[in-house]
């Protein structure tokens, strides 16, 4: 006699009905990954975070999220070389999100709307001296003030901004924008003393009863090279040349200007020379274009303005309104070697743009400071060998850009704050990187990158008007919405909509979702349909 099959009948109203959690061998888990834009930002901005607010059209919230890390967004939106966009996953889909354009828009809107930051921390009773008012010093002062410390900035120049003012021409960074963001930083109660050079750091620290010092001296000494020249030859160094253009008494450069060097300062010098009346500007560089240290964008803009480039050449001598250049050839190691072939170029002025050094005289007598290869050595907390004296920016080992300086200032401020409390600043563990292969890009439609307007060619060569224009509110919104939200949930409801078991629970706006594992059978459809790769399947725990 056959046995009847064993069966269980469930009451649909009972708590056991439709529960399929025991079927799983894997369970879905929500994760947060590091967006590549955030990972690539030298200032440590939460780019994806503030872009989210910009996508919603809440520009003030976006700006406030941005300035938690970077107090100079209108400046950075203009002069940063945006490594965040180089890292952007969207570039593999069509074109990178124009992050710098949205950042500039937010910074400009904050200036026009009068948005400002306030200090919420109570006074710490500690006093910190910042030496230098370039991007590094301003960033450090800003974050130190927000942490409750009394901050004073000493600046040797008659106006603040460092190389942002005296090294970056107005056609890239208008001075009203620079002044507005510096004023906003100083409005936090920071004392700024101009034309106050520092001859001895320790004496200044003791005389002012400062508890800590941050050195942000920059690199404002031009490197020199010996070039035989007749007495009548007009040879200028690039930094002095650019600074004199800022002060309102630009030099008379004549009709033909030769710039010797291949960095960003060389590009700015050549472009500035044309704006000062030169009918011909030539850049002479001893290596190839591919080896130029200048950023590719700078090179392209320089060429677009009609500046000529003479690669694989070096200046041999200057005489009687002419320069003699020697052709070079690369050896098997890629190093340029002389060929003995010479050429003559007409030149009324020669501008040397061969790099910059930092004036270390303020610390030269201090035996506990270590200077190697022209830069000051610091530890992981950005403290020098002297307790309580920290340093950052161009004077320490790093690439020399505005955004890196801003990041140094923020990092040093938190290290100084911890040191003043007798602690060390704890770094937060970084999430796993959200790589392109983790995205499900079929949900994203084609959306070409917004093109920023540019000044027409004839005006670019004849005025110091800003060359690249900004975004308006509508196209800033469009650009922000091109963000793929790599690696982090943005509440698109895909997982909620596709789950066959209704196991995805909405937690409310801004709170994202959770899984009800009593009902989830581990089919993985949520992972397949998540656009940003914010869900993974993990082996079921036994």
Q: Residues 69-110: pLDDT tens digits?
A: 999 999 999 999 999 999 999 999 999 999 999 999 999 999
Q: Are residues 160 and 216 in the same domain?
A: yes
Q: Do 398 and 378 meet the contact criterion of CB atoms below 8 Å apart?
A: no
Q: What integer pLDDT is reported at residue 27 of this predicted model?
A: 94
Lowest pLDDT segment from 137-151, 246-260, 367-381? 246-260
Lowest mean pLDDT among 113-127, 246-260, 294-308: 246-260
Q: Which among 167, 463, 170, 451 has a CA at the least distance from the CA of 305?
A: 463
Mean pLDDT of 47-54: 96
15 has pLDDT over 70: no
Q: Considering the domain boundaries, does residue 94 fall inside one?
A: yes
Instruction: Look up residue 272 and give its two tokens.
Output: 């500035």
Same domain, 474 and 499: no
Residue 412 inside a domain? The answer is: yes
The reported pLDDT for the residue numbered 18 is: 63
CB-count burial class (<10 Å; 0-12, 13-18, 19+) for 306: middle
pLDDT of residue 260: 96
| Least-confidence region, from 14-28, 34-48, 245-259, 263-277 | 14-28
Mean pLDDT (the chain) is 91
Do 330 and 250 share a domain, yes or no? Answer: yes
Is 536 exposed, middle or buried (CB count within 10 Å of its CB: 0-12, 13-18, 19+)?
A: middle
- For residue 281, is pLDDT > 60? yes
- Residues 373, 410, single domain; the answer is yes
Min mean pLDDT across 97-101, 221-225, 312-316, 334-338 is at 221-225
Residues 211, 232 within the same domain: no
* Residue that wins the pLDDT comparison between 230 and 182: 182
- Name which of 250-259, 422-431, 508-517, 530-539 the model is least confident about: 422-431
- Kindly state whether residue 275 falls inside one of the protein's structural domains: yes
Is-contact 390 383, C-beta < 8 A? yes
- Residue 227: its pLDDT value, please? 84
CATH code (residue 414): 3.50.50.60
Q: Per the domain annotation, does 240 fall within a domain?
A: yes
Task: Give the pLDDT of residue 233.
Answer: 67
Which pLDDT score is estimated for 193?
97
**pLDDT bucket at 21, cuts 50 / 70 / 90:** low
Same domain, 236 and 349: yes
- For residue 7, is pLDDT > 70? no
Residue 13 is predicted with a pLDDT of 41
Of 331, 353, 375, the one marking the end of a domain is 353
Residues 349, 374, single domain; the answer is no
Lowest-confidence range among 35-49, 216-230, 458-472, 493-507? 216-230
- Are residues 265 and 353 in contact, defined by beta-carbon separation less than 8 angstroms? yes
Q: Domain of 510: which CATH number?
A: 3.30.70.20
Q: What is the pLDDT of residue 231?
A: 62
Give the H or E element holding residue 458: helix 457-462
When divided into structural domains, the chain yields a total of: 4
Of 189 and 221, the structure prediction assigns the larger pLDDT to 189
At residue 11, the pLDDT reads 42
Say whether both 232 and 348 belong to one domain: yes
Same domain, 165 and 254: no
356-375: burial string, b at 16+ Cβ within 10 Å, e else: bebebebbeebeebeeeeeb
CATH of the domain at 99: 1.10.1060.10
pLDDT per residue as tens digits for the range 156-210: 999 999 999 999 999 999 999 999 999 999 999 999 999 999 999 999 999 999 9
Per-residue pLDDT, 3:
39
Q: Is residue 433 part of a domain?
A: no
What's the CA angle centered on 78, arms 74 and 82, to 5 degrees? 110
Residue 93 lies in a domain: yes
Q: Whole domain around residue 75: which residue ranges?
A: 36-115+441-480
Share of the chain above pLDDT 70, in %: 95
226, pLDDT greater than 70: yes
Confirm whether 257 is domain-assigned.
yes
Q: Is residue 499 part of a domain?
A: yes
CA distance 423 to 433: 30
Residue 18 CA: distances (Å) to CA of 496, 499, 516, 523, 542: 18, 14, 12, 15, 21
> Within the chain, what is the greatest distance between any pair of CA atoms?
122
Q: Based on the fold, state whether residues 232 and 337 are members of the same structural domain.
A: yes
Is the confidence at residue 9, as pLDDT, over 50? no
Mean of pLDDT values over 512-519: 94
User: For the segment 120-149, what is each residue's pLDDT rounded down to a tens digit?
Assistant: 999 999 999 999 999 999 999 999 999 999
- The pLDDT confidence band at residue 430, using thresholds 50, 70 and 90, is confident
Do 340 and 264 lie in one domain? The reply is yes
d(C-alpha 212, C-alpha 216), whole Å: 13
* One domain for residues 136 and 191: yes
């Amino acid at each position: 006699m056959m046995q009847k099959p064993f069966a269980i009948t469930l009451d649909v109203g009972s708590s056991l009905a439709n529960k399929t959690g025991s079927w799983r061998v894997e369970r879905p888990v929500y994760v947060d990954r590091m967006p590549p834009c955030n990972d690539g930002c030298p200032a440590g901005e939460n780019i994806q975070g503030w872009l989210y607010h910009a996508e919603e059209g809440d520009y003030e919230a976006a700006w406030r999220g941005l300035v938690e890390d970077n107090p100079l967004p209108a400046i950075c939106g203009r002069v940063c070389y945006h490594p965040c966009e180089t890292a952007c996953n969207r570039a593999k889909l069509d074109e990178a999100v124009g992050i710098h354009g949205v950042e500039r828009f937010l910074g400009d809107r904050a200036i026009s709307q009068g948005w400002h930051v306030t200090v919420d921390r109570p006074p710490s009773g500690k006093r910190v001296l910042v030496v230098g008012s370039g991007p590094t010093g301003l960033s450090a002062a800003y974050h130190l003030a927000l942490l409750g410390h009394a901050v004073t900035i000493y600046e040797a120049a008659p106006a603040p901004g460092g190389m942002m003012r005296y090294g970056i021409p107005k056609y890239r960074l208008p001075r009203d924008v620079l002044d507005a963001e510096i004023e906003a930083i100083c409005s936090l109660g920071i004392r700024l003393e101009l034309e106050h050079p520092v001859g001895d750091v320790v004496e200044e620290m003791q005389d002012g009863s400062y508890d800590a010092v941050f050195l942000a001296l920059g690199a404002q000494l031009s490197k020199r090279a010996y070039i035989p020249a007749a007495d009548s030859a007009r040879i200028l160094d690039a930094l002095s040349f650019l600074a004199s253009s800022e002060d309102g008494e630009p030099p008379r450069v004549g009709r033909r200007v030769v710039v010797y060097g291949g960095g960003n300062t060389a590009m700015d010098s050549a472009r500035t020379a044309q704006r000062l009346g030169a009918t011909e500007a030539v850049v002479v560089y001893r290596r190839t274009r591919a080896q130029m240290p200048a950023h590719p964008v700078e090179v392209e803009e320089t060429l677009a303005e009609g500046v000529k480039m003479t690669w694989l050449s070096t200046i041999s001598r200057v005489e009687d309104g002419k320069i003699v250049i020697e052709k070079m050839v690369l050896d098997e190691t890629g190093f340029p070697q002389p060929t003995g072939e010479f050429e003559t170029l007409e030149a009324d002025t020669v501008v040397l743009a061969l790099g910059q050094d930092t004036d270390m005289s303020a610390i030269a007598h201090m035996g506990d400071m270590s200077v190697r290869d022209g830069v000051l050595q610091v530890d992981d907390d950005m403290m020098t060998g002297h307790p309580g004296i920290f340093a950052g920016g161009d004077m320490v080992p790093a690439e020399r850009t505005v955004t890196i300086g801003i990041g140094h200032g923020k990092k040093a401020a938190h290290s100084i704050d911890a040191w003043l409390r007798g602690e060390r600043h704890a770094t937060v563990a970084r999430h796993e990187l959200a790589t392109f292969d983790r995205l499900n890009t079929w949900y994203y439609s084609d959306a070409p990158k917004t093109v920023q307007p540019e000044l027409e060619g004839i005006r670019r060569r004849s005025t110091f008007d800003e060359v690249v224009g900004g975004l308006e509110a509508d196209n800033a919104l469009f650009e922000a919405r091109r963000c793929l939200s790599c690696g982090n949930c943005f509440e698109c409801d895909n997982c909620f909509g596709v789950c066959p078991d209704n196991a995805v629970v909405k937690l409310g706006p801004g709170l994202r979702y959770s899984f009800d594992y009593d009902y989830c059978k581990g089919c993985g459809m949520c992972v397949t349909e998540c656009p940003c790769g914010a869900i993974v399947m993990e082996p079921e725990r036994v």
